[in-house]
Amino acid sequence: MQAAPAQTQHAPLAPHATVPTDQACRDRLGRPLRDLRLSVIDQCNFRCTYCMPKERFGRDYPFLTAQQRLSDTELLRIVRAFVGLGVEKVRLTGGEPLLRKGIEALVEAIASLRTRGGKQVEVAMTTNGSLLARKARALRDAGLGRVTVSLDSLDDGVFRAMNDVGFPVARVLEGIDAACAAGLAPVKVNCVVERGTNDAQVLPLVEHFRGSGVTLRFIEYMDVEGPRGWSQSRVVPSGEIRAMVERAHALLPVARRDAETASNYLLADGSLKLGFISSVSHPFCGDCTRARVSVDGRLHLCLFATSSVDLRPHLSAHRPAEALAEAISQAWQARGDRYSELRAESRAERLASGKRQYPTVRMSLVGG
Ligand code: SAM
Ligand code: SF4
Ligand code: SF4
């Protein structure tokens, strides 16, 4: 396992209780800007084979330096601008967000912002859970509302092989328990299913989380920049995963809420809520209301976009806050990305050529 990276010392945060107001911001396809996914670090203590394979993300990999990473004050400025444009939910991600020093202070500052409607901004986090057992309570106290923990297997051998740093599954399970005990509810558990690697773990995960209050979500393996060996044949479509569950349990569909990425089901006895995220087999670009900002201050309009907008020129202390909001708003209004839909439309062609047709960006930089 790698040690937590050193961080620069940042000035104390100055949270603001109010934010500037603006009109609702919609992109070219009419999708409103609703959520922000903020990647707070590009490094990780895992080397999940589907995200940061060791052979590509080795010791000499050029991760962002401390100087290239935005300070908490700069990140907060960005969040404030998004909130002013109507964003109400901020998800912190990475790399591994809990490796960022002082993450609790950042959570606290974001949670102290108010939406345009005067509500507290919702702060959530996606984490690999490795440091959650000791941090869950402090994060909750800082204002974190919800947490999603990635967990691909209950079998320790399979889990260690997938995180590829030999991290034991028991410690992630402790983290999930600590998150539940701290009230970071509803705790969600995300499992990326890869054919031939962990597809036999679907039912054990279902059985393990029945009655726990946790929502279990299965994610199709995506062709993001990172995994070298991605191929369509290693994707287990959600329909197939659901059929595996249905051989053991009856499922009841749950109505989908607006802009929700998962199709949700309940085990008929009510003991577990399940979600299926079908970004490969059933893309949901039409509902994609999420902006992503990486820790180097770049705005990514799509998980698969190769170009991004540099927000750093608008972050200096003498630039007005409005300039940053204007840059974000303009970029969003010009957005027409719908990569997953295009991929689905061109699948036959791609399968014939055996190649990906569209370039992608590093998942550990943009944060999923
Ligand atoms: N390190 C944290 C974690 O693992 O939860 C946060 C960052 S990680 C990039 C965010 C999410 O992306 C995780 O749930 C992970 O499983 C998912 N992910 C990474 N690579 C993926 C891939 N190739 N296909 C589908 N999901 C992927
Ligand atoms: Fe790290 Fe998360 Fe990527 Fe795994 S999925 S390598 S835990 S960033
Ligand atoms: Fe959103 Fe891009 Fe994913 Fe489509 S492919 S759902 S536009 S991030």
Contact 332, 325 (CB under 8 A): no
The answer as to whether 57 is a domain residue is yes
The reported pLDDT for the residue numbered 307 is: 83
Distance of CA 172 to the CA centre of its chain: 17
Using pLDDT thresholds of 50, 70 and 90, give the confidence band for residue 267: very high
Q: What percent of the chain shows pLDDT beyond 90?
A: 73
The answer as to whether 293 is a domain residue is yes
Ligand nearest to the CA of 94: 1
* Full domain range(s) for residue 239: 35-366
Residue 358 in this model has a pLDDT that exceeds 60: no
Query: Per residue in 221-239, pLDDT tens?
Result: 988 766 667 888 999 999 9
Q: What is the CATH number of the domain that holds 171?
A: 3.20.20.70
The answer as to whether 96 is a domain residue is yes
Supply the mean pLDDT for the chain: 89
The reported pLDDT for the residue numbered 356 is: 53
The answer as to whether 18 is a domain residue is no
Using pLDDT thresholds of 50, 70 and 90, give the confidence band for residue 318: confident
The reported pLDDT for the residue numbered 17 is: 38
Q: Which residue type does 249 have?
A: H
Q: Which residue type does 81 have?
A: A
SS (H, E, C) 106-135: HHHHHHCCECCCCCECEEEEEECCCCHHHH
The answer as to whether 184 is a domain residue is yes
Element housing 75 (H / E): helix 72-84
Using pLDDT thresholds of 50, 70 and 90, give the confidence band for residue 77: very high
Three-class DSSP category at 177: helix
Query: Per residue in 105-159, pLDDT tens?
Result: 999 999 999 999 999 999 999 999 999 999 999 999 999 999 999 999 999 999 9
126 is in an annotated binding site: yes
The reported pLDDT for the residue numbered 349 is: 58
292 is in an annotated binding site: yes
36 lines ligand 1 (CB under 6 A): no
The reported pLDDT for the residue numbered 208 is: 98
How many CB atoms neighbour CB 62 within 10 A? 6
Single pTM value for the model = 0.91
Look at residues 78, 30, 19 and name the one whose alpha carbon lies nearest to residue 333.
Answer: 30
Q: Is the dihedral of CA 66, 68, 74, 75 positive or negative?
A: negative
Mean pLDDT of 271-287: 91
The reported pLDDT for the residue numbered 111 is: 98
The reported pLDDT for the residue numbered 7 is: 41
Residue 21 in this model has a pLDDT that exceeds 50: no
**3-state DSSP percent of the chain in helix, strand and coil, to 5:** 30, 15, 50
The answer as to whether 25 is a domain residue is no
Look at residues 68, 176, 184 and name the one whose alpha carbon lies nearest to residue 132.
Answer: 176
48 is in an annotated binding site: yes
The reported pLDDT for the residue numbered 130 is: 98
The reported pLDDT for the residue numbered 9 is: 38
**345 φ/ψ angles, rounded to the nearest 5 degrees:** -65, -30
153 lines ligand 2 (CB under 6 A): no
Ligand nearest to the CA of 304: 3
The answer as to whether 251 is a domain residue is yes
Contact 357, 350 (CB under 8 A): yes
Rounded to the nearest angstrom, the distance between the alpha carbon of 95 and the centre of ligand 2 is: 6
Rounded to the nearest angstrom, the distance between the alpha carbon of 111 and the centre of ligand 1 is: 24
If you count DSSP H runs as helices and E runs as strands, how many of each does the chain have, helices first?
A: 11, 12
Number of domains forming the structure of the chain: 1
Mean pLDDT of 195-202: 97
Look at ligand 3, atom 4, and give the residue with the nearest C-alpha.
285
93 lines ligand 1 (CB under 6 A): yes
The reported pLDDT for the residue numbered 226 is: 63
73 is in an annotated binding site: no
The answer as to whether 249 is a domain residue is yes
**Residue 336 burial by CB count (10 A; 0-12/13-18/19+): exposed, middle or buried?**
exposed
